[in-house]
Structure 1
Amino acid sequence: MEFEVNGARRTVDVDGDPAAVDVVRDRLGLTGTKLVCAGGVCGACTIQVDGEPRVSCLTPAARLAGRRVTTVEGLSGHPVARAFAAEDALQCGYCTPGFVVDAAAFVERWRALHGTARPGREQIAEALAGHLCRCGAYEGIFRAVAAACAGDHDTAPTGSAPDGAGAAAVPRVEAPEKTDGSARYTTDLHPDGLLEGVIIRSPHAHAHVRSLEAGDLPLVPLLPPDGVVRYIGQPVAAVAGTDRAAARATAARVTVDYEVLPAALDARLARTGEGPPVYEDKASRKRAPGSGETPQLVPARWRGNLRGPSAMSKRPALAVRRIQEARTKYPERVVEGVFTTAAQTHTPLEPHACLAHWADGTLHLQVSTQSVKAVAELAAERFGLPAERVVARAVHVGGGFGCKMGLTTDVVAAAELARLHGAPVRVVLDRDEELTDGGYRPASRIRLAMSVDAAGDLSALAMDADSDGGVSVGGTVAALARFMYGKAPRRLRDFDTVTHRPPGAPFRGPGGPTMCWALEQAVDEMAHRLGQDPIALRRRWDGNPKRHALYDHAAALPLWSGRRGGTGRFRRGVGVAAANWLYLLDPVTEVELAVEDGIVVARCAVQDMGTGSRTVLRRAVADALGLHEARVRAEIGHSDTVHGPTSGGSRTTPSLVPAAADAAARLREALGGSDVAARLAAAHGVRVTGRRPRDHRGFALPFTLGGVAIGRGFTGSVQVAEVEVDTRLGRIRPLRVWSGIAAGRIHEDRLARSQCEGAVVQGIGYALYEERRTDPVTGRVLTDNLEDYRIPGIGDTPEITVHFHQEGFDHVPGGGVGLGEIATLPTAACLANAVHDATGWRPYDMPIRPDRLLEGLGT
């Protein structure tokens, strides 16, 4: 078949009827076109065929014969690509090429009809409705497309760096690579001799594997030591082939002899401790995966399939007594309820992926991970190698949100298969595997009771939270309520209900959005009971001065005092919610600076999954040395350099920036003066290493937890949201969200805003759409594609305004801490309170589906 691709004539063999995406990626090497959903839902594989956008995963390659095809690589230098880079319309960048291809077609149509008039949000959203961005970078995309339509990026910016060192700066260092498709992710790498690995997974929720029969086929077992599989989709073994089809054919020849066992699939039964045991003994319980970052930090007893309680209480007996007395004497002073949340799946658009090969006794890993240093260390331990014999790389990572930390199965399978075959092997999860076994925020059931005294002050709080994370444990939902609203007595108990379903994993503020769903609705209900303004009540109860500043700002918003309620079909409401989060850091973070050919190269074993670590590091060094940023290059994502933090727990920036400043001071001293720029040319080879200094007041604990230190002080967030409720169809449309964030100094404003905007979008998905479902009879995950598991699209995005309060962390070197978690914690509760404000109905169950809303309204 012959056709034109990006202006060049190409001839390819299309025997076997491949999809266009396979030809474009695998045979032509144009890997900017990404395969994500394989169902035409996400838009990441979009190409233009004769100028019209098409999803290449559903387009037969044969349909391209004689046509003119344009991929994102053919749009390099297009005004839309420049706009996306300049307006920071991206985070991890995995979905970005598809957006650019479709947006370029829209801009050209728009300009032909409307000249340089700017389209509105609705017109842009309609044009890009077929695309998904799990990072939630939609606000930047709105700006970029509008700016491109207006002609703001018709001409390339002129170079502004000294000595011709580079073009004008963009908000994100790697943005040009991500917008033109040249950024290479693990899924894009294809070295010579590559084999593709696939994982054989259990079709049973509970079974003992008696044997694996593969004949003479090379096979890697992936079973736990006891040989028991505990959920459908659990890895059993891995095989490899010349391509995925060959590997699947090999997998089909493997015979697994299962002794099928009774399965515990009912979470309600598990809460009683009953049902077939998921973990039969202490040894198997210790191997249980964790749904939090510290899975079994607080000891808890087991009773069958119920683990807990683990408690973080303050004077629990007094709390219970006060609530009981208030129930009897002053029932109007008590708010009680049972709140539930569905499981929320991480859904990074780049799935778990690893490419492994062995060379001269060294294991090399190219891996999509949030913890490149930890992966290398754990792999060395797993394979019995010296630390220097494992090198991990994560140059570009297509999202993670907490599920890509540690030595995941794809890494183990790829490494074992590569050693077995003596060839490079890549293991990439399919989308159904990702949605089944890639991780999720556990579902929950929270029983809450709250009482106030005669003065209207919080007198007691009780919260029992059951986390439903399948075979995983370590839910910390109730525990987080210890840190909000003063020092009133409270009984806080966390339980894990264990079932034969896939494991949960840490997800952006583990336990935080879930806890806020219950607590912040209860506080809102108490404000209504007391006849008080919900912001004013929170401000009175909350002793945190950083959040006081946010409350004051929120109370003055026209949004807060705007029109509410109504009696017609469409009703508007405004809600508020608050949250806090721990300040975490990696206290042994290092940054190495080396002068190479007149450039300062900053190295650190950190990775960038879209949060901007590369940019933060580069600019922190440039600012500290007084250099133009083009004179600094950041090299990250390599485990064989100085220690860097994991991208999780909002600890990357507060770990990196102080270490970079220390390294810059050491380099300045080594160069013997203040004018660093003038000395670089003669300083080739100079190398220094800076370390993250301690905070001025030390840390909150004298020890670290898994290498993580807890700093003094909490970050804070206050959010206000306006929604429109369609009382006939049960639909909720978020209109505006104001997000106030108190996390100290903001080092990169545009990137920080993008983080916070994306956090709000993920919170909207949690509140309104996302619901992981499993078959109650078999335990199979039913929402294993991006049609059945819905994440927010650009049309679901309200206008988002982010306000930063930059005080309160003067004791931290650099003055700023992480904000990735805190920005998403209150969103779902904020929307629920807005729905209540609009309708008078309180949503206790999340997501707030149309059927639930209509039932609650009695329609």
Structure 2
Amino acid sequence: MEDELPRRREKFPFGLAHLGLDEVEREIPADEPPPLAPNAELTQIGKDIRRWDARNKVTGAALYTVDVHLPGMLHAAVLRSPLPHARIRSLDLSPAAALPGVHAVLTVVEPPADGASMVLRYVGQPVAALAADTPALAEAALRLIRVEYEPLPFVVDLDGARRADAPIVYPDSEWQKSPSAGLPAAASDLPITGNIRGPESKGSRGDIGAGFAAAEIVVDGTYDTQVQTHCCLEPHAIVAAWHEDGLDVWMSTQFTAGVRAQLARHFQLPLSRVRVRAEAVGGGFGSKSQIGVYGRTAVALSRLAKAPVRLVHRRDEEQMDSGNRSSSEQHLRIGARRDGTLTAISLHSYGSAGIAFGAGVGNMVTALYRCPHVESRQYDVFTHAGPACAMRGPGNTQGAFALEQGIDELAEKLAMDPLALRDVIDPSPVRREERRMGAESIGWTRCQPPGADQGPVKRGMGMAQSLWSANVQTNAACELRLWRDGRVEVLSSVQDIGTGVGTVLAQVVAEELGLQPEDIQVRIGDTEFPSGPPSYGSRTTASITPPARTAAWQIKEALFRSVASAWQVDPQRLTVQDGWIHLRDAPQQRISWQEATATLRTDRISAVAGRSDDYAGFRSRSGDAAMALNDLGGVQFAEVAVDTETGVIRVERVVAVQDCGRPINPLQIESQVQGGVLMGVSYALLEERILDIHTGWMLNPNLVDYKLTGAWDTPQIEVILLENYQGFSATDAYGIAEPANIATAAAIANAVYNAIGVRMRSLPMTPAKVLHALGAVSGGPH
């Protein structure tokens, strides 16, 4: 057990670097390195280092899953349901199987255990799949499959699904087979009535009635957020090769080790016989976290055909059936005393993850602000639509849109500045400093009363806050290999989905070994290497950089022993810097890195290190997942211009003040924050899955009709990073992807209110909604 290993006490830097650092003492495992100095004293960590895979990506040399071509490889195609709800009366695969060049055909939809007819529950649900010599032949063969559907009543909208006479998505207990979206409100023991499941009440506390009775000011409102789809540039893709020795898979995935475990379990194979590779991944915001139906289908086809099989989603399949951010309807009520102290928060939310469950709106209302009486009742509503899945800040992104507008509305009623109110109710000293820095940068003192601008184009300013847990994957490891010729390799199955984890691994190892990042060969994205963490939940850097540094430190200590033996000195007298090993007290006595490694007794030495617990312990843990004691926060400010004649909102500037513990590569972190802001702008103003309530079909399943933020919509983005040292791990680094996205839409909504004096409580904030809101306020059409 970890707590039975030898330990020692060390003093770590503690606090916000720009305000001056203190020290904190921690007890750490004896086989882990001493504390790192602050970034200002380091040579590689905390510096803007070029991405390790930049050259391969810009030259086209990077190998994505769609670039994998194996000898004898077949191409898969999937037959999908044209109906949102139907019973399959008959399914004949034989005409397709008889077509020359078709090597495997199978049924994808699972029959009920009682032998009843198979039921389909959304347009695009996989029915059958096949593998053929060419993509064109596979598509032609699909048209030969004969299916008799019995159409059934369906409902695809939230309001309709809650009606007493609504078509039921899951009769009896069949809902228990529904996929979990991996989101809040996904507890397994919630009651279900009709299509409504819940409520999930996690975080509720106190007496809500007493809380509102004590309130002197109350605000309430209803907020709606839409379904946002995953739009990864690289679609979901897999190449599966079943063979006598096991299974090889190349996959665009956010979790190679997790996919390996799921495949081994599903196909009853030992972990050692499943290999998963993801050399380059073209984006993933949560939808590529699991093996999925499409992944299991490709493997099953490969096993049946006895040949490698390639399955790649078309863009319409990607939009309809690769997951999405669930919708929400939030009824929020907040009570406070006149000094700003909160007395009660009540949230009743309804959301749909389609046929999945987990449409909650996170823990913003229960965890962000200090309040003694909190009621959180979050309901899932099943509809005949494709299942949702985790998506960048799942739940909290929707929750922030409502809560942060409600807090601003409360501030207005209290005649308080929104920042001053948050100073009263927000217990986080880090966010307090972030508010101060962001306000200074954006010029918050310029903020005018709502609607004060004259003329048709009105400008406004707003802000909002984010909250996300500092997540850690304890099943995360790195191997460090040092060769006699001086070559250094860092190996882990962790995958780089574009966030730059390979770069930070090279920086951490180079810092410890006194080398340059380009001296480190990064080998990741392959389950032949030690298991790496997933690239989701803002946990990757926090999970993989500590073991990488620990392994590098252990290798360095071994090298020091080898050199010390040759020099006949104490290894503790040695140090390494800029590629030279020398004596601390006699730096003129030195040898180069290559000369030092030549003293090794064997051609290669290696060290494998795993992620230890945070030095101060975890707040909670479940299996391989744990939550650190600190949260990941952030404060964002937005400036907007609203054309009251056209209804067009233009976000002109965003200031994002974020913290993620110790920043390893500030340039990459800024890129992450910019991406989160752009996704938030897109969510706030443009993106929306539109389903035809009469057919269940998605009307915009492409990147022409489904609108995304483009170059014209991109605001000026200023990123301010805090160095927030806590002394929790060997690197003290944590994630930033989710917090960078959570607050953006809420900040924009508050800025729009400041510009026009009208609350926008529904996403996306389209020109039509703006004009409608303005018309409603003025008492007539605008």
How does the TM-score come out when normalised to structure 2?
A: 0.85
Q: Is the 8 A contact 1:559 1:722 kept in 2?
A: no
Question: Percent same amino acid at aligned positions?
Answer: 36
Superposed CA offset, 1:502-535 (max 9, x none): 1111000101110000000000111111111111
Name the residue aligned to 1:586: 473
Q: Is the 8 A contact 1:743 1:809 kept in 2?
A: no
Q: Is the 8 A contact 1:298 1:310 kept in 2?
A: no
Structure 1: distance between partners of 2:700 and 2:767: 18
Match of 1:530 among 405, 414, 428: 414
SS at match of 2:618: coil
Shift of 1:275: 1.9
Superposed CA offset, 1:150-188 (max 9, x none): xxxxxxxxxxx9xxxxxx995100001111111121112
**Matched AA of 1:753:** E
Structure 2: distance between partners of 1:342 and 1:481: 19
Superposed CA offset, 1:363-420 (max 9, x none): 1111000011111111111111111111110010000100001111221121111122
Structure 2: distance between partners of 1:774 and 1:586: 37
- 1:322 equivalent in alignment to 2:224: no
**Matched AA of 2:662:** R
Mark the CA change 1:527 to 1:290 in structure 2 (over 3 Å): closer, same or farther: same
Structure 1: distance between partners of 2:185 and 2:253: 19
Name the residue aligned to 1:173: 52
**Matched AA of 2:394:** P
SS at match of 1:700: strand
Match of 1:309 among 199, 203, 208: 199
SS at match of 1:634: strand
Name the residue aligned to 1:221: 107
- 1:704 equivalent in alignment to 2:622: yes
- 1:744 equivalent in alignment to 2:631: no
Shift of 1:808: 4.9
Shift of 1:219: 0.8
Match of 1:285 among 175, 182, 187: 175
Q: Is the 8 A contact 1:273 1:305 kept in 2?
A: no
Match of 2:352 among 463, 468, 473: 468
- 1:196 equivalent in alignment to 2:75: yes
Match of 2:440 among 556, 562, 581: 556
Mark the CA change 1:478 to 1:604 in structure 2 (over 3 Å): closer, same or farther: closer
Q: Is the 8 A contact 1:464 1:478 kept in 2?
A: no
- 1:819 equivalent in alignment to 2:710: no
Name the residue aligned to 1:766: 683
Shift of 1:794: 1.4
Shift of 1:537: 1.0
Structure 1: distance between partners of 2:704 and 2:661: 39
Q: How does 1:128-207 map to 2 (within 5 A)?
A: 171-207=50-86
Q: Is the 8 A contact 1:342 1:771 kept in 2?
A: yes
Shift of 1:298: 6.0
SS at match of 1:379: helix
SS at match of 1:518: helix
**Matched AA of 1:546:** V
Q: Is the 8 A contact 1:693 1:813 kept in 2?
A: no
Mark the CA change 1:389 to 1:409 in structure 2 (over 3 Å): closer, same or farther: same
Superposed CA offset, 1:619-646 (max 9, x none): 1111112122222111111012211101
SS at match of 1:475: coil
Shift of 1:291: 2.3
Superposed CA offset, 1:15-47 (max 9, x none): xxxxxxxxxxxxxxxxxxxxxxxxxxxxxxxxx
SS at match of 2:754: helix
Q: How does 1:390-789 map to 2 (within 5 A)?
A: 390-562=274-446, 564=448, 565-596=452-483, 597-671=485-559, 672=561, 673=571, 674-675=575-576, 677=593, 678-683=595-600, 684-701=603-620, 703-705=621-623, 707-789=624-706
SS at match of 1:823: helix
Name the residue aligned to 1:253: 144
SS at match of 2:249: strand
Structure 2: distance between partners of 1:295 and 1:520: 20
Q: Is the 8 A contact 2:185 2:379 kept in 1?
A: no
Name the residue aligned to 2:156: 265
Shift of 1:322: 3.0
CA root-mean-square deviation: 1.9
Q: Is the 8 A contact 1:320 1:491 kept in 2?
A: no
SS at match of 1:824: helix
Mark the CA change 1:424 to 1:721 in structure 2 (over 3 Å): closer, same or farther: same
**Matched AA of 1:300:** L
More displaced 10-residue stretch of structure 1: 222-231 or 818-827: 222-231
From the two aligned structures, give the one with the greater strand fraction: 2
Q: How does 1:31-42 map to 2 (within 5 A)?
A: none
How does the TM-score come out when normalised to structure 1?
A: 0.77
Mark the CA change 1:763 to 1:169 in structure 2 (over 3 Å): closer, same or farther: closer
Q: Is the 8 A contact 1:291 1:441 kept in 2?
A: no
Structure 1: distance between partners of 2:188 and 2:629: 21
Superposed CA offset, 1:205-231 (max 9, x none): 112223321214431211124232111
Structure 2: distance between partners of 1:796 and 1:177: 29
Shift of 1:782: 1.1
Shift of 1:460: 0.5
Figure out how many residues of one structure are paired with residues of the other and give that number: 684
Name the residue aligned to 1:57: none
- 1:793 equivalent in alignment to 2:710: yes
Shift of 1:358: 2.0
**Matched AA of 1:610:** G
Match of 2:133 among 219, 223, 242: 242
Structure 1: distance between partners of 2:614 and 2:137: 55
Q: Is the 8 A contact 1:185 1:398 kept in 2?
A: yes
Q: Is the 8 A contact 1:264 1:276 kept in 2?
A: yes
Shift of 1:476: 2.9
Structure 2: distance between partners of 1:478 and 1:338: 16
Mark the CA change 1:808 to 1:482 in structure 2 (over 3 Å): closer, same or farther: farther
Shift of 1:555: 2.9
Structure 1: distance between partners of 2:417 and 2:184: 37
SS at match of 1:513: helix
Mark the CA change 1:273 to 1:751 in structure 2 (over 3 Å): closer, same or farther: farther
Mark the CA change 1:614 to 1:502 in structure 2 (over 3 Å): closer, same or farther: same
**Matched AA of 2:744:** T
Name the residue aligned to 2:237: 353
Mark the CA change 1:266 to 1:293 in structure 2 (over 3 Å): closer, same or farther: closer
More displaced 10-residue stretch of structure 1: 681-690 or 831-840: 681-690
Shift of 1:196: 1.0
SS at match of 2:619: coil
SS at match of 2:668: helix
Mark the CA change 1:612 to 1:360 in structure 2 (over 3 Å): closer, same or farther: same
Structure 2: distance between partners of 1:294 and 1:526: 26
Q: Is the 8 A contact 2:462 2:754 kept in 1?
A: yes
Superposed CA offset, 1:565-587 (max 9, x none): 41201111000111211110101
Mark the CA change 1:285 to 1:190 in structure 2 (over 3 Å): closer, same or farther: same
Mark the CA change 1:240 to 1:682 in structure 2 (over 3 Å): closer, same or farther: farther
Q: Is the 8 A contact 2:184 2:361 kept in 1?
A: no
Q: Is the 8 A contact 2:442 2:655 kept in 1?
A: no
Structure 1: distance between partners of 2:608 and 2:127: 44
